[in-house]
Structure 1
Amino acid sequence: MKRLLTAAVAALLLASCSTTGTESPKDNAPVQLLVFGSPDELAAYRTLVSAYKGGQVQLVEAADRKDLITKLSTSIAGGAPQDLFLMNYRFYGQFAAKNAIEPIDDQLKKSTVIKAADFYPEAMKPFQWAGKQLCMPQNVSSLQVYYNKGLFTKFGVAAPKPGWTWTDMLTTAQDMTRDAAGHVVKATEPEAGATPPAVHGLGTESVMIRLAPFVWSNGGQLVDNDAKPTRFTFDTPAAREALKNFIDLRLGYGVIPTDDEVKAQDLVARFTSGKLAMLLESRRITPTLRAAKELSWDVAALPTYKQPGGILHSDAYCITKASKNKESAWKFMEFAMSPEGQRIIAATGRTVPSHIATAKSNAFLDGNAPAHAQIFLDAVPSLKAVPTISTWPEIEDITEGILENALYRGDKLDDVIAEIDKQTKPIFARGEAS
């Protein structure tokens, strides 16, 4: 099981509290920007750095998110952190709670390049802690449904339509689950010796951020208090129904691949190779799909229960409290968040720009796949964020294992709810909220 916040990392963060950050900057020292991403994303950040004329910027590339958090924690504890880092709102709370991030309210008010009102408030708010704006969100992405147009045409199934429901998606996934001969496969547990589906109708990760928007869409709440949560609320009717339908996707309906199939080939690879008809994912996979030249694909809005429901996927630039180049770090952040900087990153296809004017321009709506990119902008008003408490990474890790067992092992719903409650309540209790 993944661990994004280990005891060692927590100790490193505690050690950072004694750092004052009052040291003088070194002469001509470059601003260090810590990032991670796909090759396409990293190439975009290199382009962004090259386009900046305000000083030297050194890109520090982490292998993945876990490596980024470890690198940042270690550098903060050592008193010489990277000046800037890019991080998702779901993970920055552990650093905000330890006062390791420099607020940017004053710089933002003085700026003649960007203003707070230029950006989607749905992305800005999750990066506010103790009444202060700590980071600037570069994107306002969301979870949507990617679908393989070629497969839908091949099997004569209608593509997802605006306003479709969870039931519509499930029915479509059943119609798109096919054997090698192209016949619909509806058996959840194939008979001994039977050939498994060659194409599954749907792919999704067994993680809380895939489940959450359906809880909200069904009129339920994910936690008891969004600002200061103490527990999940899957024991309520709306949340319970959404959870049941989610975990029934595998053993109840057989529309998603088995865990062994996913281990052999991940979901994105299965989608690009024609083994998945639909995939629940955020904007981040767009560069990968664009690179698959033989793939014909598009994106559809997330299906609903009773009302539109969406989950925010957003990363932001943050300045470390102990940075010795805070002024220079802000200047680069200001450039990165400007229309020019936002256009450079948007060109990769990876992000939905948080800068409103850029998101509504040809920089984002450029006609490249996905053809229905407007769906991401239409979703913004209904986006919600998961709690930004300091221990949320631990909570995600714990619930991933429980949901995975429920999906693939068939754990009973009441046992799943009880286990989530049992294992996460103590972690909620330790969490510091914004």
Structure 2
Amino acid sequence: MRGTPARARRWVTATLSVLALTAVAACGGGNDGSGGSGSADKADLTWQFWVGGTADQAAWQKVADQAHTDHSGITVKLQGTDWNNYWSKIGTLLASGKAPCIIGMQSLRLASYANAMLPLDDLMKKYDLKAGDFDKPIMDGLKSDGKQIAIPYDSGPMVLFYNKDLFKAAGIADPKPGWTMDEFKAAAKKLTAGGKTGLVTTPSDLGTTSWVRTLTGAEPLADGKLNLTDQKFVDGFTTYANFVRTDKIAPQVPSGSNDFETTQFTSGKAAMQLNGPWSLIDTLGKVKFNLGIATIPAGPDGSKTFTAGSGFGISRSCKTPDAAFQAIVSMTSEKPLTTLAAAGRAYPARTAAHPAWFTAAKIPEAKEVIEYASEHSVPLITSKNWVQVNDLLTRFGTQALNGEIPPDQALKTIQDQAGAGS
């Protein structure tokens, strides 16, 4: 079961850092720290980002180097931290007022850190960065109180990956955009045979909420507050949990296994998996079958899904915000995002870089499916304590999927433990 003492300590550290951010924002930050030095056209900047290793560091440093290519007086040095430790570290830095100028930010965690980051709307106007050049759902997802906090580099609506070979062997036609929940369930039941299942799923935040949204239209927040005990959300989550509990079209979920969902799908043990386009090219490299993608099945009001993504913002303590913003403009320009797309590192948020990703994906239906899903998606807006919510969802959601506790009880427990801090 997740929620080990080490994980709990990381969450406490992150939470305490987040609680301090409001006070820092109220004081206006103002510390120079390691944020950078120079002027609008000449500055040595530091960029804090999540990095997976040496190769990852080198790839992202090339993105940073685009700023120097475009502005000879501006340099950006990448400071990498692994994902598990990044959020507590950046929370501590932002709370201290000594954060680097450029900050990597994920849309699902933005609410926790937005108060310590600089709104970018005025800088967008000053340097003529057009919001319309990026996918709208993720631009909206990186806003807080209507203000743009970060400029996205990647984006993506949740879609279904599926095993075309298993579909063909079972005599099931490839799903088309807008296919229905009844069609999905019929396919999943037919595919659940011979030790394989039609679907694999886990109670991840983005996956769970996307299924609930398409099933009933419910969202996890209402007026900025956690709303998991709303009857529509309960109904959607119960149907979702029943994929495992009663429909038996998905396997039980082991606790403490972060890669169970991906392993089941890539090994061919499950025919479908909900995932984001950012994982598609990596998944292509892992599977030995023909990979397809489809939209999330349509509920009563059509196919509905959530979009998430990441981008770059500026800490309030940065002394050279103009230089930092010009660097971000370069880092999210067409050239570096096209390079990232071609390498399979990101589904680019800038629309001009989309063709490179579609070419790298080599899946004929990719363009139609992603564009359809994007049109039917909204950003997943989260609460300031979403890290806690996600941890609780993983713990109690696993129990609900496995039939150990009723789905409504799981949601009530999460709401009671996390709702006051949302």
- Scaled to the shorter chain, the TM-score interval is 0.7 to 0.9
| Separation in 2, partners of 1:263, 1:119 | 35
Say yes or no: does 1:217 pair with 2:214: yes
Q: Say if 1:406 and 1:412, in contact at 8 Å, map to a contact too.
A: yes
The worse-fitting range, judged by mean Cα deviation, of 302-311 and 337-346 is 337-346
Q: Say if 1:214 and 1:242, in contact at 8 Å, map to a contact too.
A: yes
State the partner residue of 1:101.
Answer: 117
State the partner residue of 2:133.
Answer: 118
| Compared CA separation, residues 282 and 217, structure 1 to 2 (3 A) | same
> For each residue in 1:180-219, what CA deviation from the matched residue of structure 2 results, as whole angstroms up to 9, or x when unmatched?
xxxxxxxxxxxxxxxxx2x222112212322223333244
Q: Secondary structure at the match of 2:160?
A: strand
Q: Say if 2:191 and 2:197, in contact at 8 Å, map to a contact too.
A: yes
State the partner residue of 2:90.
Answer: 72
Equivalent residue for 2:30, pick from 12, 21, 24: 21
Equivalent residue for 2:363, pick from 365, 370, 385: 370
Q: Say if 2:66 and 2:331, in contact at 8 Å, map to a contact too.
A: no
The worse-fitting range, judged by mean Cα deviation, of 395-404 and 48-57 is 48-57
Aligned length: 401
Equivalent residue for 2:279, pick from 285, 291, 308: 285
5 Å-filtered alignment, 1:185-264, equals 197=195, 199-223=196-220, 225=222, 227-236=223-232, 239-260=233-254, 263=257
Q: Secondary structure at the match of 1:259?
A: coil
The worse-fitting range, judged by mean Cα deviation, of 8-17 and 155-164 is 8-17
| Compared CA separation, residues 215 and 290, structure 1 to 2 (3 A) | closer
Equivalent residue for 1:344, pick from 339, 345, 349: 339
Q: Say if 2:36 and 2:44, in contact at 8 Å, map to a contact too.
A: no
State the partner residue of 1:86.
Answer: 104
Q: In structure 1, what residue type is equivalent to 2:323?
A: S
| Separation in 2, partners of 1:12, 1:427 | 14
- 5+ residue gaps, structure 2: none
Q: Say if 1:235 and 1:417, in contact at 8 Å, map to a contact too.
A: no
Give TM-score, length-normalised by structure 2. 0.85
Q: Secondary structure at the match of 2:124?
A: helix
Cα RMSD after superposing both structures: 2.8
| Separation in 2, partners of 1:349, 1:365 | 10
> 1:305: Cα distance to partner?
0.7
Q: In structure 2, what residue type is equivalent to 1:132?
A: K
Q: Say if 1:47 and 1:344, in contact at 8 Å, map to a contact too.
A: no
State the partner residue of 2:193.
Answer: 178
Q: In structure 1, what residue type is equivalent to 2:416?
A: K
Q: Say if 2:150 and 2:312, in contact at 8 Å, map to a contact too.
A: yes
State the partner residue of 1:191.
Answer: none
Equivalent residue for 2:348, pick from 343, 346, 353: 353
Equivalent residue for 1:159, pick from 174, 188, 208: 174
> 1:224: Cα distance to partner?
6.2
State the partner residue of 1:30.
Answer: 44
State the partner residue of 1:57.
Answer: 76
| Separation in 2, partners of 1:260, 1:213 | 21
> 1:300: Cα distance to partner?
0.9
| Separation in 2, partners of 1:69, 1:235 | 33
> 1:330: Cα distance to partner?
1.2
Equivalent residue for 1:318, pick from 304, 313, 318: 313
Q: In structure 2, what residue type is equivalent to 1:76?
A: L
Q: In structure 1, what residue type is equivalent to 2:340?
A: I
| Separation in 2, partners of 1:45, 1:370 | 26
Q: In structure 2, what residue type is equivalent to 1:301?
A: T
State the partner residue of 1:272.
Answer: 266
Q: In structure 1, what residue type is equivalent to 2:21?
A: L
Q: Say if 1:141 and 1:351, in contact at 8 Å, map to a contact too.
A: no
| Separation in 1, partners of 2:173, 2:157 | 24
> 1:336: Cα distance to partner?
1.7
| Separation in 2, partners of 1:12, 1:418 | 28
| Compared CA separation, residues 400 and 260, structure 1 to 2 (3 A) | closer
Q: Secondary structure at the match of 1:173?
A: helix
| Separation in 2, partners of 1:80, 1:337 | 24
Q: Say if 2:177 and 2:372, in contact at 8 Å, map to a contact too.
A: no
- Bigger share in helix: 2
Q: Say if 1:147 and 1:297, in contact at 8 Å, map to a contact too.
A: yes
> For each residue in 1:267-325, what CA deviation from the matched residue of structure 2 results, as whole angstroms up to 9, or x when unmatched?
22232222221111112322322323634212111111121201011212111111244
Q: In structure 1, what residue type is equivalent to 2:79?
A: V
Give TM-score, length-normalised by structure 1. 0.82
| Separation in 1, partners of 2:16, 2:256 | 31
> 1:158: Cα distance to partner?
3.1
Q: In structure 2, what residue type is equivalent to 1:228?
A: G
Equivalent residue for 2:297, pick from 291, 295, 303: 303
| Separation in 2, partners of 1:249, 1:297 | 22
Percentage identity across aligned positions? 21
| Separation in 2, partners of 1:131, 1:148 | 40
| Separation in 1, partners of 2:81, 2:407 | 38
> 1:354: Cα distance to partner?
2.3
Q: In structure 2, what residue type is equivalent to 1:120?
A: D
Q: Say if 1:289 and 1:295, in contact at 8 Å, map to a contact too.
A: no
Q: Say if 1:231 and 1:424, in contact at 8 Å, map to a contact too.
A: no
